[in-house]
Structure 1
């Protein structure tokens, strides 16, 4: 997590508005993570790529750099059709996603 990015958001918007914006982004990230998982369960790689791109953009905006990177890796593996890599990156995306959401939620709750 890029603490500077979170601090920038708080400085730009104020604490209350920043918590609201970050909270909405967290909800959207959680939804997109579930959507990636469901798309891959259906073997719908195109939808998985679309949801991974959404995760990457949202994560980058709120300072979740590791999550953004893993989402980009998942999209690349899905586009290449590299199924062993896709399975490994999917598991990593879920781990990093859950850890990142918890970390930023805890950070903004303490702010």
Structure 2
């Protein structure tokens, strides 16, 4: 995120980060709903979109685990998909909370 602040300045970076964390929160919730509906194609698309957003704001662990979810789906491994999705949601919640705390934003 430090690079983002250097490139865009404080106001620009805060705007990008705020929009990104809002979108990440929405998409994480959507991923969970898609899993419950057994919509693996939708889940794969949603997880892929998380990768791009997470990378944009430097949340590399979140991006990596979202990639793991897509790999598990591609391997047709339901157990691995369930496990990596659970991990994605846990890491996502932790990451978003950390950013909210840094930005002093309310949930």
TM (norm. structure 1) is 0.89
User: Could you tell me how far apart the structure 1 residues matched to 2:21 and 2:74 are?
Assistant: 26
User: Could you tell me how far apart the structure 1 residues matched to 2:41 and 2:25 are?
Assistant: 19
Q: State how 1:30-69 maps to structure 2 within 5 Å.
A: 30-69=25-64
TM (norm. structure 2) is 0.92
User: Could you tell me how far apart the structure 1 residues matched to 2:59 and 2:101 are?
Assistant: 13
Q: Which has the higher contact order (CA 8 A, sep 6+)?
A: 1
Partner of 1:98: 93
CA deviations 1:48-104 (Å, max 9, x no partner) are 000000101110110101100000000111122101111111110110000011112
Number of paired residues? Answer: 105
User: Could you tell me how far apart the structure 2 residues matched to 1:50 and 1:94 are?
Assistant: 16
User: Could you tell me how far apart the structure 1 residues matched to 2:4 and 2:104 are?
Assistant: 14
Mind listing any 5+ residue stretches in structure 1 that lack a counterpart? 1-5
Mind listing any 5+ residue stretches in structure 2 that lack a counterpart? none
1:14 aligns with 2:42: no
User: Could you tell me how far apart the structure 2 residues matched to 1:105 and 1:44 are?
Assistant: 30
User: Could you tell me how far apart the structure 2 residues matched to 1:80 and 1:12 are?
Assistant: 38
> How many Å apart are 1:13 and its aligned residue?
1.1
